[in-house]
Structure 1
């Protein structure tokens, strides 16, 4: 047996189907008394408009988008992304909206075309912007497309008119350097992620400033591109230096740090006795390595939830307050006093 329809609600309330639409979408055109009578009729019949009907009535897609220009192979190894999606879904689950995800590989033109297609076809009401790049054209693009957007990136960056959830990743790198200096280290190297991303340059800048703040030379710097292979290669270059070989290395991600620890062992070095190591992310396996990894903990689930709450508020025309999330250093066994 078919369930109740909008016609049944209209019949019970003694109004037209158009009046039901106006009342249930809180639009003007019906008296408050009639609105309440219609809502009571819908409640008595246990009738709710379908997502498709709601979308038609409100000119809404009830969907938000995320387009990523990343290598899918690297994406599979990124725990931040999985946690971020989990946080987004915790908010979307009770909102009636869904997430539309597209991964286009490292092709910025395809990324832009995806956003254009989603906007033109009215498949999404707004979008998340991850992996913010230098001179990122997506901020202007989404504004031109009329799409509500929320950026997720370093808290120190000015995103213009685009609201953002800021991550204070610089605080985590500064804490790692301070920790190593307290242990007596002076030759502290840094392995950067991918320079194309602002969160990578933000962490590099934090290392530079922290080293200079302690009166130490900031010269031991290599790029690892946030990959295991890149982190291993960067570590080999640092350890090959005949002069000023580092006694400690700060990595911009746990994945690079784990690879670096393996390279150090291959070179006959003990971690942490000969080389102290810190990471960034606090991946689930970080606490179970041998030695357990000292790292900067960030909570991608909280970041995703904050971003989703802000985006939905903006789409609904409600006040949405940009937020910041602060990571913290977790001290484990991969760092020790300089021997």
Structure 2
């Protein structure tokens, strides 16, 4: 089937070709109702303006887009994202460019429509993509829309050679954490991860499990969603689970869940690190000010955001495709894992 033309869209809708063009390109001259009719039909037909034609007629918007598929409340309270955004803004400000941020919750269709609107209305010059999924449809969509993009934080094995992006060796970070706990005498640990639909979380889960198996450690996996309340629920659930030898340490996928875990331990009368040690995959002011202070991986999100933005700027300037490996994280050991030997808990430790 031949690709539809602007004239074809106009005929289907009973309006002029000029009106279709104005609507697709985000220009004045048509009503919002007409614009919506045109965009809806284009979406239904999976029709997008040719990227070559768009490139010839398009002036720079001076804007980079970023869509975050998460609860806006969580994004506003999670220091990792705040650090990442600071790094991105720093790099863009040096080029007098702006960041357009959209938070779309967990609706994939809304994220797709955002990209389509940005492309159709020429609102952004390119986009930064985070939290890669299994069989992620976004790279193919962005390529079809003609929107340059950079993938941030993908496992190296999952970043195609034709894409620009940053990669992280999550297995190395996992080994750093497990080595630290093993050296502290821990043999039964839990790993409270973020959603395993994200490739980076799947890599972390595999890394913790395999490194622990190499030491003969028992690892219990628990999937959560990064929120403080999720860390709280995870600890209560893990402590209630029947076990001859309960866990002596918990690794959390971020700092907020670590804080929730600390609160849960206090509620059931357990001490950290004497009864249960805690490690966070992200370091932040939360970890530094908590009581006890929390051992964490220092991942330098500001640097990561800056690098991702610089890679996108290179794509926009010259079409240059680069891959940058992020340095391994450094473990900052604090009071939450301070014991030299893990205590062996009894059944009486479990939550009611």
1:312-323 residue pairs with structure 2 within 5 A? 312-317=313-318, 319-323=320-324
2:335 pairs with 1:333:
yes
Aligned counterparts, 1:43-58, within 5 A: none
Stretch moving more, 260-269 or 294-303: 260-269
Q: Deviations over 1:70-93 (max 9, x none)?
A: 211111122111111110111111
C-alpha RMSD of the superposition: 1.8
| Aligned partner of residue 222 in structure 2, secondary structure | strand
Encode CA deviations 1:132-174: one digit per residue, 9 max, x unaligned: 1221100110011111110112434412232211133432222
* Match status 1:299 vs 2:303: no
Give SS of 1:195's match: coil
Q: Is the partner of 1:316 in helix, strand or coil?
A: helix
Aligned to 1:174: 175
Alignment partner, residue 122 of structure 2:
122
Report the equivalent of 2:41: none
Q: State the partner residue of 2:276.
A: 275
SS in 2 for 1:177: helix
Name 1:29's counterpart in structure 2.
Answer: none
Give the structure 2 partner of residue 136 of structure 1: 136
1:320 offset after TM fit, Å? 4.8
Measure how far apart 1:241 and its partner are: 2.4
- Alignment length (residue pairs): 284
Q: Which moved more, 1:263-272 or 1:136-145?
A: 263-272
Greater mean deviation of Cα atoms: 252-261 or 320-329: 320-329
Judged with a 3 Å threshold, the aligned counterparts in structure 2 of structure 1 residues 106 and 121 are, in CA distance, closer, same or farther, namely same
The answer as to 2:74 corresponding to 1:74 is: yes
Worse-matched range after superposition: 56-65 or 86-95: 56-65
- Match of residue 192 from structure 1: 193
**What are the within-5 Å matches in structure 2 for residues 14-29 of structure 1?**
none
Query: SS at 2:236's partner residue?
Result: helix
TM-score by length of 1: 0.80
Instruction: Could you tell me which runs of 5 or more consecutive residues in structure 2 were left unpaired when the two chains were aligned.
Output: 1-54, 344-352
- The CA distance in 1 between the partners of 2:271 and 2:111, in whole Å, is 44
Is 2:68–2:104's contact at 8 Å kept on the other side of the alignment?
Answer: yes
Structure possessing the higher radius of gyration over alpha carbons: 1
For the 8 Å contact 1:153–1:198, the answer to whether it is kept is: no
Deviation for aligned residue 1:302: 0.3
Match of 1:222 in 2: 222
**1:214-253 matched pairs, under 5 angstroms:** 214-218=215-219, 220-243=220-243, 244-253=245-254
Summarize deviations over 1:247-282 as a string: whole Å, max 9, x none. 111111111111111111222211111111111110
Q: What secondary structure, in the 3-state scheme, does the structure 1 residue paired with 2:99 have?
A: strand
Structure-1 separation of matches of 2:153 and 2:119 = 23
Answer yes or no: is the 8 Å Cα contact 2:259–2:286 preserved in 1. no
1:172 alignment partner, SS class: helix
The superposition leaves residues 296-318 of structure 1 with CA deviations (integer Å, 9 ceiling, x where unpaired) of: 11111101100011000011116
| Alpha-carbon spacing, 1:99–1:139, altered in 2? closer, same or farther (3 Å) | same
Large movers: runs of 4+ above 3 Å: 55-58, 154-157
